[in-house]
Amino acid sequence: MTPKVRTCLWFADHALEAAGLYVGLLPDSRITAISRYPEGQQMAQPGRVLTVDLILAGTPYQLLNGGPHFSLSEAASISVATEDQAETDRLWTALIADGGAESQCGWLKDRFGLSWQIVPRRAAALMSGPQAGRVWPALMQMRRIDIAALEAAAGEAGPGGH
């Protein structure tokens, strides 16, 4: 069944390759449908992938091979709340591999040009609590978010410790 609402992301090409990477990174993810350009279509070779419908961590998306007319930008991104530093590091490393690029404050762009923000749940809590004024300056110096460094800036030893 097609979801009532889903985000569609426009790729010049490689939507199926991108979908394969993304569903391999997050639990509760899978490709649900692939459509192809029909015979006689002037825009693309018949049989070439047109759209890929997928679920990422329970959320529906559609990736469209629409050609070079529009580009992905930082104006839209996928934000992932990670459970710990290990998950943060695993996702970060996989998404910047093979031509991706780091940005700051947990933002990156993967090799397909899609922007992501990888944010540990612990970091989000530290950035909104009473210690936020000490945590934000530390965060602004980071690319990949380092939970221990944010806890140090907050004056904490980590979850359960002070």
Domains 1-68 and 72-157 share a fold: yes
- Please provide the CATH number assigned to the domain covering 1-68: 3.10.180.10
Domain ranges of the chain: 1-68, 72-157
pTM assigned to the model = 0.88
The pLDDT value recorded for residue 162 is: 43
Q: Which residues of 86-114 are buried (b: 16+ CB within 10 A; e: fewer)?
A: ebbbebbeebbeeebeeeebbbbbbbbbb
DSSP 8-state secondary structure symbol assigned to residue 37: P
Per-residue pLDDT tens over the stretch 122-153? 999 999 989 999 999 999 999 999 999 999 99
- Please provide the CATH number assigned to the domain covering 72-157: 3.10.180.10
Q: H or E element: which one contains 135?
A: helix 132-140
